[in-house]
A and B are shown apart, each in its own frame.
Chain A
Amino acid sequence: MNKVVVVIAALGAGAFGCGGGQEVSIEFAAKVGTEDFVCGQQYDNLGADDTSLVLSDFRFYVSGVELRNSDGDWVAVALDETNFQVEHVALLDFENGCNSQTGNEPTNTRVTGTVPEGTYDSVRFGMGVPFDLNHKNPATAPPPLNLTTMQWNWQGGYKFLRIDSGAFSMTDWRVHLGSTGCNGDPVSGGTTECSAPNVVVADNLGPFDPDTGTVVADFAALVAGAPLDVNQMMTPVGCMTGPTDMDCAPLLENLGLPFGGVPAPGAQSFFTAQ
């Protein structure tokens, strides 16, 4: 087993031209306030209205994961190729198929790869699939970009973040974040740009020890201040990143993203390093 890991790591390092280096495994956790996310569990006192929700999905893509070395320089983590990682993108998957309509059993709670030998004291990354991978043919994409429940075909690209209560229902609260306002070119067949890329920049996590630390994604922080009991008329319950769905405004603010022409008022507060 160890041998396999070493071989994969070596291949990954070789592919990215890093040579040598040390293995790194960055642990992630999905939480709701102080509680761990457990697929199918109810959580209370959420958002501005102290809403209760039974959460059945909690998945997100991260990309461009970097660690800060002792010189203060940011160094890219060359990701291992696994079912949850391809090129510079990884899927963190905390649902275990408790909702069989949308989920599946495998989970993934860490990003693994290699970095040059050294000591590291902070981490940063983007939450989302970067443009170059977001708009390739999803029907031929490798794992983890081949999950149809993470594809967002009508907008083009992927759901960067998916947290659901319920499934395939027009009445259950859900948040699906992804690029919006994308434009296609009928001549080339490609996607040319997206007016709202919506990749979350998590570069404010502070000190982080990759050997012992955990990056926490907190649903309670995501919906802090959001009135979850009310829904804007004629919009999906929750937020599907519709540019005029004001239910999205507090969530995108907490993600440090601009919304409705208003620049992001501050940095993201969904992720913390512990």
Chain B
Amino acid sequence: MKATLIGLGLVLFVAGCGSDAGNTGAPWVWNLPETIPEPRVPDDNPMTVEKVELGRFLFYDKRLSGNQTQSCAGCHRQELAFTDGLPLAEGSTGQLTPRSSMSLANAGYQASLTWANEVLVRLEQQALVPMFGEEPVELGLANLEDELLQRMRDDERYPEMFAAAFPDEDDPISVDSITKALASFQRQLTSFGSKVDRWADGDQTALNQSEQRGLALFFGGTNAAGIDDAFECFHCHGGFLYSQSSDDAFQVFDQKFFMNNGLYSLDEDGSYPAGNEGIFDMSGDPADKGKFKPPSLRNVAVTAPYMHDGSLATLDDVIDHYARGGTLTESGPNAGDGFENPNKSSFLNGFEITEQEREDLKAFLNALTDGDFLNDPAFSDPFAQ
């Protein structure tokens, strides 16, 4: 009897607890291949259908910028795997960010977010950067949090949607709710439906001969010059994301991962262009110069231009870069030979590649495109419908 009372007390306590907010609502059902783990979902932001739907509206809503000219989707377009096709992303007031917009495909599986940041490990936390950041201005909402919430309250649709997504909150329209809904929407942007996935699932017809040869070369095959694992791609771009930087609901280790790939080397310290030197910008440790997160290669064919600063226009340029073992910049302020970068990954020593091998490798990279993901109406702009 006593135990029952204590049990009842616990239930009442938990049910009345603010941190439990959002547990009610239609539970989310993941639509994932059997081989793919579910993404990690923070305890204080369980997935619900209502939250994902709210997040979808917010993601595409220009009222989420200070001057109401830009939404998250302004830099993250579905048809480009949620990139923008530009070398550098441009904020709502026209300021350029130093980096290229990253794909949001499988954003919920990233061990760390953005190109090079060791502290951003949750989508909820990351959403605050484009919203409220000042250097540079992205969505430009700093100091406008009250106005932002008023815009939501004044809307025909939102009060009901926020209440449905956050039924335990007395005041469901809050900055915290916005970040949680945006994170929930992004967490379900999963993309595991490429031809390569069908091949891995046992469909022998999924990849043609060229794509199969490219796959073998990517994963350590011997090239025409007779070198085993000549291309070394999978060391940084392995795993189910095609990036070693990955996390999921069952992962117990911190798998943040940053590498220098020899894109620049301005001096003997291996400097990159100032202000854009990877995790060095935050750590100040010279050994961190040029270290960036290897991005997932899923949908890579539609996410040009490449690298953190969009400086390589095509997949051919990327292959040239790795074949040389680093990029040589002959003149100008960034002059230097990335091959010589002292922080460069030891895997990147260059390789010989025949025209056929190049075509095969590109065929494989193209086969990582998930057409269903790029066209899924569930991820599309709800205001356009």
Residue B133, interface by CB 8 Å: yes
Contact residues in A for B111 (Cβ distance below 8 Å) = 186
Contact residues in A for B243 (Cβ distance below 8 Å) = none
Contact residues in B for A187 (Cβ distance below 8 Å) = 40, 247, 251-254
Q: Is the interface of B mostly helix, strand, loop or mixed?
A: loop
Residue B175, interface by CB 8 Å: yes
Residue A180, interface by CB 8 Å: yes
B239 to chain A, nearest CB (A): 14
Residue A130, interface by CB 8 Å: no
B49 to chain A, nearest CB (A): 22
Task: State in angstroms the CA–CA spacing of A153 and B283 once bound together.
Answer: 16
Q: A186-B40, A243-B284, A261-B284 are in contact. Are A191 and B251 (CB under 8 A)?
A: no
Q: A139-B174, A148-B143, A186-B112 are in contact. Are A153 and B129 (CB under 8 A)?
A: yes
Inter-chain contact A191/B119, CB cutoff 8 Å? yes
Cβ contacts A202-229/B at 8 Å (1 or 0 each): 0000000000000000000000000000
A-B contacts counted at CB < 8 A amount to 124
Which of B144, B255, B282 has the most CB atoms of chain A within a 10 A radius of its CB? B282
Inter-chain contact A242/B281, CB cutoff 8 Å? yes
Question: Which residues in chain B, 259-307, are within 8 Å of chain A measured between CB atoms?
Answer: 273-275, 280-285
Contact residues in B for A149 (Cβ distance below 8 Å) = 132, 134, 142-143
Chain B contact-residue range equals 35 or more
Residue A234, interface by CB 8 Å: yes
CB closest residue in chain A, given B273 = A234
Residue count of chain A within 8 Å CB distance of chain B: 43
Cβ contacts B95-122/A at 8 Å (1 or 0 each): 1000000000000000110000111111
Contact residues in A for B118 (Cβ distance below 8 Å) = 182-184
B72 to chain A, nearest CB (A): 15
Question: Which residues in chain B, 132-170, are within 8 Å of chain A measured between CB atoms?
Answer: 132-137, 140-145
Contact residues in A for B142 (Cβ distance below 8 Å) = 102, 148-149, 168
Residue A196, interface by CB 8 Å: yes
Cβ contacts A174-185/B at 8 Å (1 or 0 each): 001000111111
Task: State in angstroms the CA–CA spacing of A140 and B119 once bound together.
Answer: 18
Residue B356, interface by CB 8 Å: no
Residue B176, interface by CB 8 Å: yes
A231 to chain B, nearest CB (A): 11
Contact residues in B for A180 (Cβ distance below 8 Å) = 282, 284
Contact residues in B for A274 (Cβ distance below 8 Å) = none
Contact residues in A for B256 (Cβ distance below 8 Å) = 184, 186
Residue A137, interface by CB 8 Å: yes
Cβ contacts A98-122/B at 8 Å (1 or 0 each): 0001111000000000000000000
Which residue from B40, B42, B112 sits with its C-beta under 8 Å from A184?
Answer: B112
Task: State in angstroms the CA–CA spacing of A189 and B183 once bound together.
Answer: 14
Contact residues in B for A146 (Cβ distance below 8 Å) = 145
Which residue from A139, A168, A184, A244 sits with its C-beta under 8 Å from B121?
Answer: A184
CB closest residue in chain A, given B109 = A186
Contact residues in B for A151 (Cβ distance below 8 Å) = 128, 132
Residue B125, interface by CB 8 Å: yes
Question: Which residues in chain A, 105-159, are within 8 Å of chain B measured between CB atoms?
Answer: 137-140, 146-149, 151, 153-156
Question: Which residues in chain A, 85-104, are within 8 Å of chain B measured between CB atoms?
Answer: 101-104
Residue A19, interface by CB 8 Å: no
Residue B337, interface by CB 8 Å: no
Contact residues in A for B129 (Cβ distance below 8 Å) = 153-154
Which of A102, A154, A232, A244 has the most CB atoms of chain B within a 10 A radius of its CB? A154
User: Taking beta carbons and an 8 Å cutoff, which residues of B are in contact with A?
Assistant: 40, 42, 93, 95, 111-112, 117-122, 124-125, 128-129, 131-137, 140-145, 174-176, 178-179, 247, 251-256, 273-275, 280-285
- Known contacts A149-B134, A186-B112; 5 further A-B pairs (Cβ under 8 A): A151-B128, A153-B129, A170-B135, A185-B254, A186-B247
User: Taking beta carbons and an 8 Å cutoff, which residues of A are in contact with B?
Assistant: 101-104, 137-140, 146-149, 151, 153-156, 168, 170, 176, 180-187, 189, 191, 195-196, 232-236, 240, 242-244, 260-261
